[in-house]
């Protein structure tokens, strides 16, 4: 009986965030936008280092990459149908082409993980290549699933 109760509680815990997001689409869209902005505030400073506008400091860069790795997983559960409202630039294709959207998400996660691994190793040439790959995954997804700025 304890296993069944545990399973029910686990399923309920996983479903609760989705239900709360469905109840307030605007709040969900705002949370999603905020999650992407947090990622951008980490990604952009890394770009200044990659482009040699700021000095490369291995430990600091590796920490930023680790933070980006964590942040990169936050926005995806917030893509709930009916939440393309407010400041959201989410295109309807996100929900009409879920497999393609999922593939973009997975590509981004793989690229972030590769950048974080490269940052830990500290080879700036490899870091530049991994950063460029990640930037390209962002662009690819934006081209397909993000509406132009209004």
Helix 58-71 vs helix 98-121: crossing angle, to nearest 10: 160
Would the annotation count 76 as a binding residue?
no
Q: Are 50 and 131 in contact (CB under 8 A)?
A: yes
| CA–CA dist 94, 109 (Å, integer) | 17
141 is in an annotated binding site: yes
Is 63 within any annotated ligand binding site? Answer: no
Distance CA 32, CA 30 (A): 5
Query: Contact 49/56 with Cβ under 8 angstroms?
Result: yes
Q: Which residues line the annotated binding site for heme c? A: 138, 141-142
Q: Which residues line the annotated binding site? A: 138, 141-142
């Amino acid at each position: 009986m304890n296993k069944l109760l545990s399973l029910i509680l686990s399923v309920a815990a996983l479903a609760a965030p989705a239900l709360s997001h469905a109840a307030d689409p605007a709040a969900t869209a705002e949370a999603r936008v905020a999650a992407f902005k947090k990622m951008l505030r980490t990604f952009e400073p890394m770009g200044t280092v990659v482009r040699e506008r700021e000095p490369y400091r291995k430990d600091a860069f590796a920490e930023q990459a680790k933070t980006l790795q964590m942040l990169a997983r936050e926005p995806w559960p917030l893509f709930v149908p009916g939440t393309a409202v407010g400041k959201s630039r989410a295109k309807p294709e996100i929900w009409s082409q879920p497999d393609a959207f999922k593939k973009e998400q997975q590509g981004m996660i793989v690229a972030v993980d590769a950048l974080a691994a490269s940052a830990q190793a500290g080879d700036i040439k490899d870091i530049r290549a991994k950063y460029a790959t990640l930037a390209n995954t962002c662009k690819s997804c934006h081209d397909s699933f993000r509406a132009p700025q209004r």
